[in-house]
Amino acid sequence: MDKYSLFVPNFLPFKEYFVPEKNIACAGCGLALAIRQTYKALESDIEKAEWVTSGEGKLFSKLFDKSPVGNSEPSLLKIKKTGAELLICFDNEAGGSLDDAVKKAMPAIAVAEGFHYVATACPSYPFDLYEKVKKGMESTGKAYIHILCPCPVAWQFDPELTVKVGRWAVESRAFPLYEVGSASAYNLTVTTAKPRPLADYLKPQYRFAEISEQQIASLNAAVENDYKKLADKIQPA
Amino acid sequence: MVECSLLDKELGRPFKPGARREATPEWDKDKCVRCGLCYVYCPDGAIYRTEDGFFEADTDICKGCGICHRECWFGVISMVKED
């Protein structure tokens, strides 16, 4: 450490709450990475965390008083805090078939349901995720965080690329990272001045092996439309 | 009661996360700047810091996914295949 003062883990607590000996995840699991980073942010509150066991698609109806959406049942972590609770959704997009490829906008539903703090995060941006979980614990009311976890098995890419694929998802604006504070104040936490082509994100994933140029173009239009809607909500301070 | 073959002590063995690894990460200590990015991005928590400030992977836990090899800015980590 004499030559360089740069030391990345200084920005994160060094203590591990994750138990690596019991980790039965596949190699390069994005979910395991997200859980490890989330546990670091929770620190002493970790005993209040509880995994929600979902059954038969009733998860969302139970939590949001709405009818169930699709077949997908992502893992959900519930942390009790004073007066309310923090919900963290670990989304690996594994429940979707090609028919229901359009994802339900869970953060938008959470904003409409009156959550006080809503955010999206990705383990490729660990410090961003860390700050969002901290903010979620500090906010007064209910909070919801949606974490995109690249899954090498379901998305069919090389396990080396887990962090890269998450980063490409953010850079191509397919999964913008933003947070919604109190009074619906939108805030982009990772800005992309020049978006990466969407094909860069889809290409390494073998689940999109049979996708055509036309489909990529239509997906790109949908992504740009969503991003425009989001950008309109962000009011210059 | 049905007897389970896994309960036989010769067949059943304790779970080791790193038992089926294909390749092991190795650090080139001449190039390493000890920034700790590999430690932050390891999904299994296998990478730990040694006393001299360098990083190493616990071979019982590491699954050889290669994320550290990809994420290292300086190309320090190489994945060495085992026979």
Q: pLDDT grade, residue A120 (50/70/90)?
A: very high
Q: How far apart are CA A161 and CA A150, in angstroms?
A: 9
Q: What own/partner pairs with CB < 8 Å and gap ≥ 24 does A152-156 have? A: A152/A26, A152/A27, A152/A28, A152/A29, A152/A30, A152/B65, A153/A26, A154/A92, A154/A93, A154/A94, A154/A207, A155/A93, A155/A205, A155/A206, A155/A207, A156/A205, A156/A206, A156/A207, A156/A209
d(CA A124, CA A130): 11
pLDDT digits (tens, 9 = 90+) for A125-141: 999 999 999 999 888 88
Question: Is B36–A9 a contact, with Cβ atoms under 8 angstroms apart?
Answer: yes
Q: Which CATH number does the domain housing residue B41 bear?
A: 3.30.70.20
Q: Is the ipTM of this complex over 0.90?
A: no
pLDDT higher than 70, residue A95? no
Q: From chain A, pick out residues whose CB is under 8 angstroms from the CB of B46.
A: 20
Is pLDDT at A210 greater than 80 in this prediction?
yes
A146 closest CA partner among A116, A175, A167, A169: A175
Q: Which of B35, B36, B45 sits opposite A18 (nearest CB)?
A: B45
Residue entry with tokens 């938008």: A108
Q: Give the strand order in the sheet containing A75-81.
A: A49-52, A75-81, A84-91, A143-148, A117-121, A178-180, A186-188
Mean pLDDT of chain A: 80
Is B7 a domain residue? no
A24 by DSSP, 3-state: which? coil
Confidence of residue A60 (pLDDT cuts 50, 70, 90): low
- Tell me the pLDDT tens digit for each residue of A80-89: 887 788 888 8
Tell me if B25 is assigned to some domain: yes
Sign of CA dihedral A19, A22, A26, A32: negative
Residues of A with CB under 8 A from a CB of B: 1, 3-4, 6-10, 12, 14, 16, 18, 20-30, 32-33, 36, 126, 152, 158-164
Domain containing residue B51: 14-81
Look at the block and give the residue holding tokens 């949001």: A64
Nearest beta carbon to residue B45 from set A1, A16, A163? A16
Q: Using one digit for the tens of pLDDT, what is the confidence trace for A138-153?
A: 888 889 999 999 989 8
Residues of chain A in contact with residue B36, where contact means CB-CB under 8 angstroms, are 7-10
**pLDDT for the residue numbered A57:** 46
Residue A85: its H or E element: strand A84-91
Supply the pLDDT for residue A100.
Answer: 47
Beta-strand relationship, A178-180 and A117-121: antiparallel
Instruction: Tell me whether residue B3 is in a domain.
Output: no
- Nearest beta carbon to residue B64 from set A22, A27, A158: A27
pLDDT band of A62, cuts 50, 70, 90? low
Domain ranges for chain A, please list them: 19-233
Q: For the segment A8-39, what is each residue's pLDDT rounded down to a tens digit? A: 666 777 788 878 777 788 888 888 899 888 98
Q: Residue B21: closest CA among chain A residues belongs to which residue? A: A27
Q: What is the pLDDT of residues B8-51, one digit of tens each?
A: 666 666 777 777 888 999 999 998 888 888 999 999 888 988 88
Contact indicator for A72, A38 with CB cutoff of 8 Å: no
Query: Are A25 and B44 inside 8 Å of each other by CB?
Result: yes
What total number of domains does chain B contain?
Answer: 1
Q: Exposed, middle or buried, A174 (CB in 10 Å: 0-12/13-18/19+)?
A: buried
Cβ-nearest to A23 among B33, B44, B70: B44
